Amino acid sequence: MIALLKLSPVFLLAGLMIGSNIGNLGLDILVIAPIVTIYAAIIAYITEKMKFNEIVDTMVENVKGLQLVFFILMFAYAMAEIFMATGVGASIINISLKLGLTARTIGVTTFIVTAILSIATGTSWGTFAATAPIFLWLNHIVGGNILLTLGAIAGGSCFGDNIGLISDTTVISSGIQKVDVIDRIRHQGVWSILCLIFSAFLFFVFSFNLPSIVGSASDAINEIPQEVWNNLMQEKPVAVELLNQVKEGVPFYMITPLLLVLILAIKGLPTIACLGVGILSSLIFGLMAGTVTSIKTFSDLIYSGFSDAGSWVIVMMMWMGAFGGIMGKIQAFNPLSNLILKMVKNVRQLMFANGLLSIIGNAALADEMAQVVTIGPIIKELTEKNIEGSKEDMYTLALRNATFSDALAVFGSQLIPWHVYVGYFIGIANTAYPLYDFQVFDIIKYNFMAIVVVVSILLLTITGLDRYIPLFKIPSEPDVKLNKENNKI
């Protein structure tokens, strides 16, 4: 009974998240996070007789470990806002669509364009909102498969949210596992690109028998009804700005800031330095292109990015960090962890279990960020306290845990019908293209990228076939081993 009582804050969190996402509670995560944290504090007092000062110290100490993450998030949100507003995002789309599209190529092209744009902006939500009006109406013009195009937009939009340098889930999942974002991107880079290539092939194959009518982005944007423009202005104003830039055109050299960031990241420059270069180069090239009209306008974009991060994700992370600190202090997850440890026989099985915990937690909480900050510390503790290995090998396992936490949050959400992600994407799709009544399973049907990512990472981990993918192999016996003498939390 005590064990269940200690876990009850997680049940409360899951109930409130699901009730808000698919029910009528209407509570935001910024309201839910303080509620479950206060409830966890009450449980800590009841079960462990913790004093008020001790509870507060536990909360503050856990949040302290996220300070660097907060700074990275502020810069990441600022650069995402700048890339969307100064023409970097529009240049990516225009370069990709220069030759025009047909129904046979719109699926694969949409997928690649949204994947690149999501890397540049670090947001799947923003990428989906910005590109759905273009590609859904372009699909309408060329006579393509509307659900295939929808799946391409959804899957591609999530690519950068999983591997992008400025993605909040990438930054936070890496911070929780205490690994560098650059190292994490290198670890999963080849695997992610292989998933991208295979998914693109599937989009091409499923489009092979479609018509070959040519269309253009400008024609598609002209087809968008005024009502859709009004709705997008309310839902995502920056998406309207990007659409106008795509229609009017921006110089192709506006893609340079993204290329600089990617090159410096590959060379190993610290994350904040990469973000700083992206912001500064956007200012320089934006002034040359005329997409930045003044230093004041540009500084407003930085302020907007900092404000967005501070008003939502950082505040939420502080509360969830405090929540995690309390739950760790009262050892709330020990029964679950010990159950897993009794079932696994080797390190790979334990890591596979960490992946399953991530996807199950995402389904239970129906929110990718809630999964990252709730399940992330559990799989971290399972690994650190029950696996013996060199410092280098343990760091590699932490990289895989960070990849689990993020990939199975972002892409796993695409396969969960009641997830907040799916609800948001369906809402934007119906707003952008009211000629079709999109339903939740329409997102899942052709979301090849989500299916490939979720299935492959779990299979590669349990089978050991990840050794054939450069930089993606995790250590296994005899390099690492389970601590069988103390095989419990």
At residue 172, what is the residue type?
A: I
CA distances to 121, 361, 460, 465, 479 from 217, rounded to whole Å, are 20, 39, 39, 41, 53
Sign of CA dihedral 137, 142, 143, 144: negative
* Residue 215: φ, ψ to 5°: -135, 170
Paired tokens of 23? 């029910």
Give the pLDDT confidence score for residue 459 in this predicted structure.
Answer: 97
**Nearest alpha carbon to residue 438 among 427, 448, 447, 451:** 427
CA distances to 108, 114, 156, 412, 444 from 147, rounded to whole Å, are 13, 16, 14, 19, 9
- Percentage of the residues of the chain whose pLDDT score is greater than 90: 35
pLDDT in tens, 435-479: 889 998 999 999 999 999 999 999 999 999 999 999 999 998 899
Sign of CA dihedral 17, 23, 25, 30: positive
Q: Considering the chain, what is the average pLDDT of its residues?
A: 86
- Percentage of the residues of the chain whose pLDDT score is greater than 70: 97
CB 80 within 8 A of CB 123: yes
Of 63-67, 295-299, 463-467, the range with the lowest mean pLDDT is 63-67
Average pLDDT over residues 396-415: 94
Give the pLDDT confidence score for residue 43 in this predicted structure.
Answer: 93
pLDDT in tens, 347-372: 999 999 999 999 988 888 777 887 88
pLDDT in tens, 304-316: 888 877 777 788 7
Give the pLDDT confidence score for residue 332 in this predicted structure.
Answer: 80
Q: Which residues contact 59 (CB under 8 A, 6 or more apart)?
A: 37, 41, 321, 322, 325, 326
CB 124 within 8 A of CB 158: yes
pLDDT in tens, 131-189: 888 888 888 888 889 999 999 999 999 998 888 777 778 888 998 899 998 899 899 99
The Cα–Cα gap between 468 and 109 comes to 28
Give the pLDDT confidence score for residue 489 in this predicted structure.
Answer: 47
